[in-house]
A and B are shown apart, each in its own frame.
Chain A
Amino acid sequence: MARIAFERLAHGYPGSSAYALKPMDMVWENAGAYALLGPSGCGKTTLLNIVSGLLRPREGRVLFDGHDVTALPTERRNVAQVFQFPVVYDTMTVRENLAFPLRNRGVPAAQARMRVEHVAGLLGLAGMLDRRARNLGADDKQKISLGRGLVRDDVAAILFDEPLTVIDPHLKWELRSRLKELHRQVPVTMIYVTHDQTEALTFADRVVVMSEGEVVQVGTPEALFERPAHSFVGHFIGSPGMNFLPCAVEGDAALLPGGHRISLPRAYGPLTGKVELGIRPEFAALAQEGLPVTLRRIEDLGRRRIARVELQGVPFAATLPEGMVVPAEPRLALDPARLHVYADGRLVEGRG
């Protein structure tokens, strides 16, 4: 178990002066559940590999509980890792797979046996301990990979590299909730890398959103949803993402395309750069009253419906309330409390 800290950490790949990971300072508390979220190439896997020791950073330090581990190889860091594609040792049984990390470290057989059975119980693998690992489904194989990490009681952190990629949707639910339960029972630092916002938000206490080698925002799922610090976060979190409308802000009012004026919950000083109004589709609904829009399409998601509309040529996603018949002349109602102002992509703090 460990508190993981990064000090002026940065990385670039050989032969390139560009940063794959821009300089950053960050602390991950002991026994926290963290998610690294971002699109391909945002640097999240690079950061994970630096934590596990598979990659040595070009600049800065990595500290585990205050100890500098920057130069330590993987096997001396006490981290465990679950990969995108399940890794099991083909010729071994489930039991042997789980015992493998203990055997490698010379743990006495009786003690290893107890640990293995304990972990198998936690993961729901108890009934299949003596089966060959290679014949199991992808979800059970991922449980084994995870179990090999949990079986060590000295493990500092468990790292997950997109572990649900090859898992079917209904099994994803089971595995994800089990993982979450497990984190409750075994307080170990868990770091989960994914491009899937649902996985990140549901798994983590704190989500680290990354884009182009940079940490854009760190926060709880609620904070990322309600107050995205950056338009990238607004767009990336949520499905569909946040709507952004170009506008001009004057004090506590915004002037929208087409000359519509709406009042804002807060007042703003003079703004420079590209000014946009951000609002989530969850807080914008088709209604009888409001801004006139052109309806493009209705998406029926089963449990809710999304109206794809255009406001003066700007595409916009809004909620179609339950039971509402699609109006002939649709209008858009925005929840004023949920309006945010962005200048050049960054959230602007208002007054009041």
Chain B
Amino acid sequence: MTIRAEGLALSAGGEPVLHPVSLELAPGLPNVLLGPTGAGKTTLLRLLAGLDRPSEGRLFAEGQEVTGQPVRRRSVAMVYQQFINYPTLSVFENIASPLRVARLKRAEIEQRVREAARLMRLEPYLARRPLELSGGQQQRTAIARALVKRAALVLMDEPLANLDYKLREELREELPKLFAETGSTFVYATTEPAEALLLGGYVATLSEGRVTQFGRAGEVFRRPADLATARVFSDPPLNEAPARCEGGRLVLDSGPVLPAPVGGLAEGPCTIGIRAHQVSLETLPGAVPLPATVRVAEVTGSESYVHVTAGGRDWVVLAPGVRRPEPGQEVTLWLDPQRCLVFGVDGRLAAVAALAEAA
């Protein structure tokens, strides 16, 4: 089912909680809401579910207006961050519960529960109680219960946040198959950029109650429409340098001068954004040096995150291999103009260089 929001907004006590949102959400690929805590993800989910009534705007399901229709009469299922199951019922009965409420025939219930259990790989545990399962299995039970209804719209609010890292990885791999196999429209809220990319669908970035961009995950990542989007969709955080555009050159406030990556940039103040993996500690052809002081280095085994202070700002550089420069050590960062994002004074994306768009 295609869900369309037209200027959906919510305010409380005269203060806007969510600024008008217009989106079209389709089945097949997940629709990820990405943003930090308090950005409005849960608010938007609740509006889409019909749990809250929008103060403005309209909501359509398959072209039919459903604004204000109670959630009970809509085909919606929800999965929460906490594993919500009935503790006294078996896994089978937990999954079957929405069907029992809907008074389906016994055989039909049996068949649908088995199918959902197969998808979520819960078949061996159907007779157990939720508390006898691992966290991952408990959350799979909750997801299976949401699936079994065959709801047209399935909303997931940070469903993996309470799981162990490796379990999260496992479910992240399984979920895209699920999204493709069932005909439901999935909306998935998360705070983690990596998760938004891994799920590989559409992303709506949220910042301070505003949807800043909506598009394919990879495209939004590589061509963020504005600074807010780039910040939300960067992990480690986006490195930023205030600068001025003067006659085809970008003059950083801290001194260094870069040739503009593309022509036709408006003169005046701008912000250069560059992600950690696009900055180098080694000289690159065409790159400009930027002096920096090491704060601390973190080694992940194959790569190192070197935290530095450059031009009075905290930057993170992702360097290949194991590097442990001493804190306080002076290093040179190499900025390749071809890997930079340039944001205008209004925060809008002014230029995206060729290599910043590459993988």
Q: Which residues of A contact B (CB under 8 A)?
A: 39-41, 168-170, 173-174, 176-177, 180-181, 184, 195-198, 201-203, 221-222, 224-226, 235-241, 280, 282, 297, 299-305, 308, 320, 322-323
* Min distance, Cβ A178 to any Cβ of chain B, angstroms: 8
Cα A301 to Cα B222 in complex, Å, equals: 11
In the bound complex, CA of A235 to CA of B169 (Å): 11
Contact B275 A196 (CB under 8 A): no
| B169 neighbours in A (Cβ, 8 Å) | 239-241
5 shortest A-B CB distances, which residue pairs?
Answer: A225-B301, A202-B298, A303-B277, A195-B164, A196-B165
> Does B164 contact A39, Cβ atoms closer than 8 Å?
yes
Q: Tell me the residues in window 221-266 of chain B with beta carbons closer than 8 Å to chain A beta carbons.
A: 221-222, 231, 234-237
Does B51 sit within 8 A of A, measured CB to CB?
no
Q: Which residues of A contact B236 (CB under 8 A)?
A: 173
Counting CB contacts under 8 A, is B192 at the interface?
Answer: yes
Within 8 A of A (CB), among B291-344: 295-296, 298-302, 305, 307, 314, 316, 318, 322, 327
Complex A-B: 29 CB contacts under 8 Å: A168-B37, A168-B191, A169-B36, A169-B235, A170-B231, A170-B234, A170-B235, A174-B237, A177-B298, A177-B305, A177-B316, A197-B166, A201-B298, A201-B301, A202-B298, A202-B300, A202-B305, A222-B299, A224-B301, A226-B301, A236-B166, A237-B301, A238-B302, A299-B200, A300-B197, A302-B197, A302-B222, A303-B359, A323-B358
How would residues 141 to 175 of chain B score, 1 for a CB under 8 Å from any chain A CB and 0 otherwise?
Answer: 00000000000000000000000111101000100
Q: Which residues of chain A have C-beta atoms less than 8 A from B130's C-beta?
A: none
B359 touches A305 (CB 8 A): yes
Is A40 a contact partner of B164 (Cβ separation < 8 A)?
yes
Closest Cβ of chain A to B191, distance in Å, is: 5
Cβ-based interface call for B84 (8 A)? no
Q: Helix, strand, loop or mixed for chain B's interface?
A: mixed
CB distance from A149 to the nearest CB of B (A): 19
User: B residues within 8 A CB of A201?
Assistant: 298-301
Check: B11 CB closer than 8 A to any chain A CB.
no
B295 touches A222 (CB 8 A): no
CB-defined contacts of B300 to chain A, threshold 8 Å = 198, 201-202, 221, 225
CB pair B218–A177 under 8 Å, yes or no, is no
Q: Does B127 contact A (CB under 8 A)?
A: no
Q: Is B98 an interface residue (CB 8 A)?
A: no
Distance between B229 CB and nearest chain A CB, rounded to angstroms: 13
Would you call B69 an interface residue if the criterion is a C-beta within 8 Å of the partner chain's C-beta atoms?
no
Q: Give chain B residues whose Cβ lies under 8 Å from the Cβ of A237.
A: 301
